Each structure stands twice: as structure tokens, then as C-alpha cells.
A and B are shown apart, each in its own frame.
Chain A
């Protein structure tokens, strides 16, 4: 529907102009990579096996940053209030925001991934389509529940601190399965084994996107 597109486009437009979120998310993700490089120096030889975990930690942290900003930016100037006054189904707002969050995350993930390839000297060519699929489903799932929880956290006293605390336990299935799937792709295991983690991630995404869509009106406030 064109309203979802309007919301999505607006977020994208602001982001293209200011690049506030992108810069923060990207920088933070890369910093996490660097820290892990130092922390895991003793296992440099086996870095390829640690790569899935490191990658998704970086994605999760950078994604959380992006989600935080998504609604925090709306609170400036009371834009959230403006959205609330519009006679539009809250679920529409949710979908627009969720898509924007997914796209932002995906773009950052691609760039962070490229840095990972460089830092850890990995080669991946035929694995790329599979990785793309995992990144996509993972980001969708993360954003599906993250958008709702971010809307909750933004109206509390401790918004930046609260979001990670309430997000990570809930989004654990995505993280576990994404790491598992990435591991299968990078470190061998037969693509048939991908079916289970990808299924769980897909179920998670569909279930939580639906629930969030239905319940969004109860949490979106200013």
C-alpha cells in the first residue's frame, strides 16, 4: 500500500540526507569486529569457524543501534505525535518502519561483512547467495520484533539501555539459528542442513511480524 511506502520512503530520505544512523551503525559494527580481532588473536588460525558468531554479534549490536535511532529520531520535535494523529492503521506504520529497519540493517550488514572478509582473510564466492538469504531472513526477523520493542523502549526513562535488555532475550532464536546457518555455509555441512535453521527463522519472522502488526497500536504512544 502506498502509505507503507510513504513511511518507508520518508525514513530513507532523511537517512540519505543526514546519514546519522548509517554512520553510527556502520562504525559500531566495525568497532565490534576490531575488538573481536584483538580479543580472539590467539585463535587466529581458526578464525573462520569463529566468524559466524562474530559477524552476528556485530550485526546484532549495530542493528540495535539503528532500531534505537529509528524511534528516538521521531521523538524529536514530537514527530511521533504527528504520526499518531493520522487516521491510519497503526499496523501500517509498523510495516513501514519495519521495512526501513530491515533495509538499513541489510546495507550495514553487507558492508560489515566485506570488512570481515578483509580483516579475517576469508574467501567466499559460491557461498554468497546462501549468505544473502540468511542475512535477509535474519534481518527481517530482527526488525520484525525489534521495531515493536523499540517503540516500547523509546517511551521509557532509560530508552537506550532498555532496548538491548528487552530485545536480546526475545531475538535469541534468530541469533542462534543465524549463526548456525552461517556456520553451515562458511564451514561446510551440506546445504540440506540449512533447512532447519532457516525454517525456524522464517517461522519466527512470520509469527512476530503478525503479532507486532496486530499489537502495535497498543504500544505506539508519545
Chain B
């Protein structure tokens, strides 16, 4: 096929290459509509990000403009033992909560799919309700549940079972477990909602065909349900990882990073650096590390989902 012919075909079907200005001229109304959004994004999103990156190279404190200090904040970050700890604990926290949220969310969605439809709406509203509660309120609820002095769980354990309860927010490994469980409780509803929608969308015929072929309940779940849940799982993983990295309110309410600094998450450390020590540039540098964790996870998930799509192709 000659070059002229290809050009001719492109013109015939409206596929000829156009410049940016051509596209603006053709679709100016569309561009006009997105201008306000773009301006707002620039002011509220892009500019703060660029400004934040710039601040990491200064010694800006809240209340005073700083001067350029090069990579000093990054050097502080990399040599700070509290950051090392917070980084590791944040990874464990994110891994634990994301995994639990996925599993509990999936179980909730599967149970809901078994219910008759007239019960399903109400039950799903009740099961998903923690997700719609304010995280701070969630923290207060768990505090009343776990606190050693007045908490319900230690009282049940000691008064009814005669077992001396550990201090769930202070002793040994318990504060870590408590924070992960409490956070999973709060957010599993998100995974539940996505999974429930995905399960409803699976064609009934596939289950019927599998049943006719002699597949049992477990086999139907493995061969029919699970393949339909891969994409939703990747979406949930990507979004929940990013949110769990930034999770602040509920852990702050429950332990505030303590005892000592034993449950210091990067989000709490960022808050303390910014608003207790007033070192904004260092807080932004910590924020960069949090973005790095979220971005790495997102790139990983996107790569996985791409491979997954290729599998289907």
C-alpha cells in the first residue's frame, strides 16, 4: 500500500493527524467546560504538590519562611531512627489492614449475595455502616471497647471469664493488633461494596452451567466467582493501600503513636513534625516518603492488572 493511499484512507475516515490547536478549535466548547475544573485542580492540587516538593529543599517552619538547604531534610529523614521505625510499622499496618479488609469485605459480600433481595439492602446497610462512620468516632468506639480502665472487652474477660486481660492499647504486640483490627473494621465495607457489585454482575448462567457439569459449591466459587473478582481486587488493593498509608484519625485517637513511639505511623509522625514541632519542610519530606510507598504499590498493582488483561486477551 502506497503512502498516498494510507493518507487518503486516514482522511476518508477522519483519522488524519491534527495539531493541538486544531483540536482546540474543533472542540472549544468542551475545553471551555473543563477550564474551571483545571483551574481549581491547579490551585488546590497541582500547585500545593509542586510547592510541597519545593519546600522539602528548604528549612521552612510553620510561621517562618525558610531558606534553601539542599538535601538536608532528606538526609535527616534517612538517618532518623524514628522514621525508620515508622516506615516499617506503616508497611506492616498497611499490609495487615489491606489484607484483612479484602478478606472480611469478600466474606461480607458473599454472605450478602446469599440473602434474599428484600433483606439484602438493609443487611448490607448495617454491615457497611462502619465505613460511613467518622474515623474519629470509630476511634472513640474502639477506645470504649479496649481501654484497660473502662473498656468493655477487658471487663468481659475479667468479670465473666476470670481472665486477666492484657492492656490492648499498651502491652507487647497488642497495640499493633488493636490498630490493625480497628482499622480493618472501619474500612472493610469499601471492599464489601465493590465485591458485592462485582458478584451481582456475574451471569447466573455460568453458575448453572457449572452446577450442571457437576461442580460443587467450592468449585463454583473457585472457577466462576473468583475469576470475576480479580479486577475488583486490584482496584480495591490500589485504593485501599493509598488510603491506609495516609490513615491518621483512628490510630491517632486510639494510641497517638504511643506507648512512647511504639505505634508511630508515618501519618502521625508527619502530623507531629508539622503541628507539634512546627517543622513544615520536614513534614513535607515525610509526606514524600508516604507518596513513594503509595506510588510504588500503585505501579505494582497496575502492572499486575495489565498482565491480567493480557491473560484474557
Q: Answer yes or no: do A and B interact.
A: no
Interface residues of B (CB under 8 A from A): none
Interface residues of A (CB under 8 A from B): none
